[in-house]
Amino acid sequence: MKSTQADVDAAVRTIAQTVVDNEKAFSDLDAVAGDGDFGFSMARGFEKVLAGWDDFDRSDPGTFLTKVALVITSRIGGTSGPIWGTLFLRAGTTVKGSETVTGEQWVAALRAGVEGIKTRGGADLGDKTLLDALAPATDALEKALAEGADGPAAVRAFADEARRAADATSTMQARRGRASYSGERSIGSVDAGATAVAVLAEAVASR
């Protein structure tokens, strides 16, 4: 599994467009236990990514991802901007300087993103956040690669586990973010951020 700049471009563009297309769906999910602005905030940020698409520095995939991260961080409101910006920034920093990105590098980049989000947001696994989909999906990616899966199969394994894990957040009580104010009432609905990870992963896997 090796990703070229063109591959990374295609994946990020798919992510950005999928965020915009799912603005209402993400906001509706967030409104169940949160403040309902997740989809709106994310869509406005990724619209800026799409608007400035041709101007990003594409010296290498890592540089490109770090530039996208800066737009996300500055344009997405609330806590989502810093959190999703951290994911892109840590991933970009991890692979910066590589003309192509191997599967092992993607695992390392995603793990760096997970650790960055933990530090930035003060959340951990089990707190009912995007980490509860992102971390197990990364484990699934690593396992698929170790078992010899090619790129498309490995990405599908990531997406399948992201969906399973996101759906499982319905049994959790939110302990971070606005949803945590709902206490036990947050149990029974899926986390919007975790579900977004699944939706975006599925979009990338299906392209």
* SS (HEC) of 87-111: HHHHHHHHHCCCCCEEHHHHHHHHH
* Cα 172 to Cα 174: distance, rounded to the nearest angstrom: 6
Question: How much is the pTM?
Answer: 0.93
Contacts of 31 (CB under 8 A, 6+ apart): none
Contacts of 21 (CB under 8 A, 6+ apart): none
What is the homologous superfamily of the domain 2-206 according to CATH? DhaL domain (1.25.40.340)
Q: Cα angle vertex 134, ends 66, 139, to 5°?
A: 110
The confidence score (pLDDT) of residue 36 equals 84
Take residue 69 and report the two structure tokens written for it: 């991260």
Instruction: Tell me which residues of the chain have a pLDDT lower than 50.
Output: 181
The confidence score (pLDDT) of residue 77 equals 80
The confidence score (pLDDT) of residue 9 equals 97
- The helix-helix angle for 5-21 and 61-75 (nearest 10°) equals 20
The confidence score (pLDDT) of residue 176 equals 66
